[in-house]
Chains A and B, each alone.
Chain A
Amino acid sequence: MPEHIEYWGIPHEWGSPNILVYSVMFLAGAVLIFRFIMQARIWWKVGRPEARWNKLHLRIWNVIKYAIVQTRVLRQRYPGVMHIALAWSFFIFFLGTALATINTHFFKFLTGSVFSFYKLTLDVFTVIFLVGAILAIYRRYVTKPDRLTYQPQFTWTLILLVLIVLGGITTESLRLAVEQPVNMAWSPFGWLLAQGFLATGASDAALTNLHLIIWLVHLFLAAITLVILPVGSLLHVLTGPLNIFFAELDRPIGSLPPTPTDQAGIPIYVSKLSELTWKQILNGEACTECGRCQDVCPAYGAGYPLNPKEMILGISEVLKDAKSHQNGYDLSLLENSKLSKEVLWSCTTCAACITECPVLIEHIDTIVEIRRHLVIEGLIDTELQDALTNLGRYGNSFGQSPRKRAQWTEDIEPPIKDATREPVEYLWFVGDYASYNPSVAELTVKTAKIFQKAGIDFGVMYKGENHSGNDVRRVGEEGLFEMLVEKNMKALERCQYQSIITTDPHTYNTLVNEYPFAEPQIILHYSELLLMLIKEGKLELNNPLNIRATYHDPCYLGRYNGIYNDPRQVIRATGCDLVEMPRSRDLALCCGAGGGRIWMEEGKVDERPSENRIQEAAALDGVQYFVIACPKDYTMYQDAVKTTGYENDLFVKDLIDLVAEAM
């Protein structure tokens, strides 16, 4: 009966090989654990405390989902398959070794068909690994995508792993060549390689000796891998799952944490390494340098100073530098060029980075926390200063009188209800751009008229409404955000309504995720409302447009709040032929206006994200309408369509434009 043979071909003259194996592995393991703990305890020692132990079952589930099954890695085909091949194989090998150990010392079960299946699995995964290795080698040395880090440590890791696996299959083939056991066929690839060895005509003794040598080398290499794991590119094997385990579970991504305070209640504005939480430091250590965040970052693509991958690695760099610096762990993060204020101000908070990261690194939280420090120190450009001053004074970034906020309602008959004076069913939180920007205000008027046609009972807060604060918070002006929330909450509390609606995804995001409502609210983006009205027949779209259109998912509607389908259904309902851009849904490229960027100086740019997006749409065959569902998108893309020269071919349309045309 076929069964697992322990230490085949390994001489027992110098004592049980167990002693060698276990002592080597325990030693290597001990070194690994020791080194890792020495490194890890620094995060706890240096960083601020943060409790992330709750919801253990969810945390464990996340580890299974992201660290073992690796769903994020699988979002992209080539690197996904490549890494799964490498990682899962090693999971299987590790499992295999563990099972063999159990089988030897505790409970014999690797016999018969179980054993055969065991052998087959190991063999198959050996080949899978080698295929993965080839894919990796080709990618790293032939294709050479920009987003990877090209340093020797990655080469060494590949070499080590490939040698280990080759060692594994080779020892097995040598054993098969000598023993030729009855169940050889269950190790097909090992058996194939064994044929090769047999063909050389080497004697059994020679093969057995070779087996011993390779076995020893294999053991040695495995030990080395464990020992260097904390300093090589394999560190992510430990830090990745840890980072996933300790991921933020209590807040949705659309909700930022308030400014932290120390024991005395004094706010902490993060600028030093020691002011980060241990989890934020772990972010830096967990980065696998895969570069997916870099690839999807609109700022990086445009040529701005921000590179999200380098920014996260910068944290790790500062940690290293701090050890030898005179300031120690109080070393300022801002002095590292990867974390400079120019880098931090480039971020649009579009959340593409955190959507892609395989190990759930939280880039945006750190960027915003350090921005809070920059704001306190006044390290902001003059345009942003003006915008914030205006927001503080007038409740809008345009510096216009709050009384003019609802000027767009002037010519609308019947007059739009004042929600602060009479009850309404839908309280429409209009937003800054929709109120004050002349071209967007035209859309607002159109929207109001369509709401009236649909017969819904709605009102606005007129001058009671202030900027919702979403981007003020993302800029790091937390105090101003709090003030705006207070003012808006006061106004909302005076109103009686069933639901809140808005055309602005940024407003939507903060109302849904950050506003301290006492009772649960129904908050709708107008795309949801429009769909509802269409389905209920309150809006009759009798004039199908028959135009090919593409839809751009707003960051704060899509990635942040998962609303992808309603706008699409509205578009289809208007009779448009909807075609998707290559980067759609959670892959949509940010227009570049978010995170307060629209209030900042543009600076030197290679290609604006909005222009890149228009090029993407223009490449679609026959598409005439570029449909958006966000006021800032409207202004950004109107400009981009002109600067890219497509203004006669591609027309920027808001959802409401389509609905109006289809009525």
Chain B
Amino acid sequence: MTEIVVIARLVPDLVEELEIAQSGIALDTSWLRLIINEFDNHAIEQAVILKEKTGANVTIISLEAEGVDDMLFTTAAKGADRLIKLTGVDEEKPTNISLAETLSNIIKEINPDLILNGVQAHDDITGDLAPQIADLLNLPYVGYISGVSIEGGQAKAFKEYPGGLLAEMEVTLPAVLGIQASEEPPRYVAISKVRQMMSTASIEEMPGDGLITENNFVIDRMYLPEAAEKAEMLEGNEEEVAQKLTSIFQDLGLL
């Protein structure tokens, strides 16, 4: 049976305003709302799709954070078999190399055929996670994947290039793939199903206290961008603005 591991992380929800912590080099976590990294959500969906097609065993690994239990139970409701979270983690974000090391040790024990992770996380500053895990485990890595199938000891993966171009890649398993989009959009899971999982599924805890938060390069400061040159906002009611815009088009010689 194919073993699939998915690394899923929570990232800051950009719906809220982000604030900088006192230290000046990290995000203020007090009002931070976390949300699953959208690409990781696709990775989970891809794993479940593979399970439905080939009967794989799917393990999800994440880090302790506010809302992670809910996220893990949701993956169980979609079909994930095993849920693992790293506990004892610092408030501050660990470096990805350190996280990759800790995760690699766990993944080694599971010995999966395929490791999936979202291709990027928007709050990563210390490199992307999946390629680092791949290197530590001496496995191949291909990113920007929007479709995977497993045949024999190989994965057929479709890698996205600009302009809608795709490259069909053959990757020897075991391998790590950075998912851009799952074959089908992530499914909806009814809350009652998630709640049901809370009583039937369980989350394994593994130590995450060895994670390092200190970077191997110096961050001078973290700050909100100055709204340098914002757009010239056209004011007025809809008709007035429509007229203004039309004359702008005329001035530009477009009409």
Contact = CB atoms under 8 A, between A and B. Distances in A.
Interface string B193-226: 1111000000000000000000000000000000
A543 B16 CA distance: 44
A371 B65 CA distance: 34
Given A382-B185, A393-B35, A479-B195, A376 B16 contact: no
B25 interface: no
Interface in A362-385: 375-376, 378, 380, 382, 385
A403 B188 contact: no
Contacts of B15: 394, 399-401
Given A378-B187, A382-B185, A393-B35, A267 B192 contact: yes
B192 A380 contact: no
A478 B195 CA distance: 11
Nearest to A478: B192
Nearest to A385: B188
A392 interface: yes
A359 interface: no
Interface in B33-57: 33, 35
A401 B187 CA distance: 23
Given A393-B35, A394-B15, A483 B191 contact: yes
A375 B190 CA distance: 6
Contacts of B185: 382
B242 interface: no
A478 B35 CA distance: 23
B188 A480 contact: no
A477 interface: yes
Contacts of B190: 375-376, 378, 477-480
Nearest to A373: B190
A480 B191 CA distance: 5
B166 interface: no
Interface in A262-301: 267
B189 interface: yes
B193 A380 contact: no
Interface in A399-436: 399-401, 403
A655 B196 CA distance: 44
Q: Which of B188, B193, B194 has the most CB of A within 10 A?
A: B188
A452 interface: no
B47 to A, nearest CB: 16
A378 B189 contact: yes
Contacts of A403: 16
Contacts of B193: 376, 479
Contacts of A259: 192
Nearest to B194: A479
Q: Which of B17, B35, B193 has the most CB of A within 10 A?
A: B193
Contacts of A483: 191
Interface in A472-492: 477-480, 482-483
A389 B190 CA distance: 9
A376 B178 CA distance: 29
A423 to B, nearest CB: 27
Contacts of A350: none
A466 to B, nearest CB: 13
B65 to A, nearest CB: 15
B29 to A, nearest CB: 16
Contact of A389 (B33, B188, B194): B188
A388 interface: yes
A440 B88 CA distance: 46
B19 to A, nearest CB: 12
Interface in A119-145: none
A392 B67 CA distance: 12
Contact of A380 (B188, B191, B194, B195): B188
Contacts of B194: 479
Contacts of A382: 185
A480 B194 CA distance: 10
A65 to B, nearest CB: 38
Nearest to A266: B196
Contacts of A267: 192, 196
B17 to A, nearest CB: 8
A537 B57 CA distance: 71
A259 B35 CA distance: 29
Contacts of B16: 401, 403
A376 B35 CA distance: 22
A392 B190 CA distance: 10
Given A400-B15, A403-B16, A479 B35 contact: no
Contacts of A482: 191-192
A482 B191 CA distance: 9
B195 A378 contact: no
Given A401-B15, A401-B16, A403-B16, A392 B191 contact: yes
Nearest to A403: B16
Nearest to B189: A378
Contacts of B191: 392, 477, 479-480, 482-483
A479 B192 contact: yes
Contacts of A399: 15
B18 to A, nearest CB: 11
Interface in B64-123: none
Nearest to B78: A378
Contacts of B196: 267
A267 B195 CA distance: 12
Interface string A525-565: 00000000000000000000000000000000000000000
A388 B188 contact: yes
Interface in A436-488: 477-480, 482-483
Nearest to B187: A378
A42 to B, nearest CB: 31
B35 A378 contact: no
Nearest to A267: B192
Q: Which of B15, B35, B191, B195 has the most CB of A within 10 A?
A: B191
Contacts of B187: 378
B98 to A, nearest CB: 30
A145 to B, nearest CB: 41
Contacts of B17: 401
Contacts of B188: 375, 378, 380, 385, 388-389
Q: Which of B187, B190, B192, B193 has the most CB of A within 10 A?
A: B190
A380 B188 CA distance: 8
Contacts of A392: 191
Contacts of A394: 15
A251 B192 CA distance: 23
Nearest to B191: A479
A399 B185 CA distance: 18
A557 B20 CA distance: 47
A392 B189 CA distance: 11
B230 to A, nearest CB: 20
Nearest to B188: A385
B182 to A, nearest CB: 14
A605 B17 CA distance: 40
A353 to B, nearest CB: 26
Sort A-B residue pairs by CB-CB distance and give the 3 closest, nearest first.
A479-B192, A479-B191, A385-B188
18 contacts: A267-B192, A375-B188, A376-B192, A376-B193, A378-B190, A380-B188, A382-B185, A392-B191, A393-B35, A401-B16, A403-B16, A477-B191, A479-B190, A479-B191, A479-B194, A479-B195, A480-B191, A482-B191
Given A401-B16, A477-B191, 9 more contacts: A376-B190, A378-B187, A380-B188, A389-B188, A394-B15, A477-B190, A479-B190, A480-B191, A482-B191
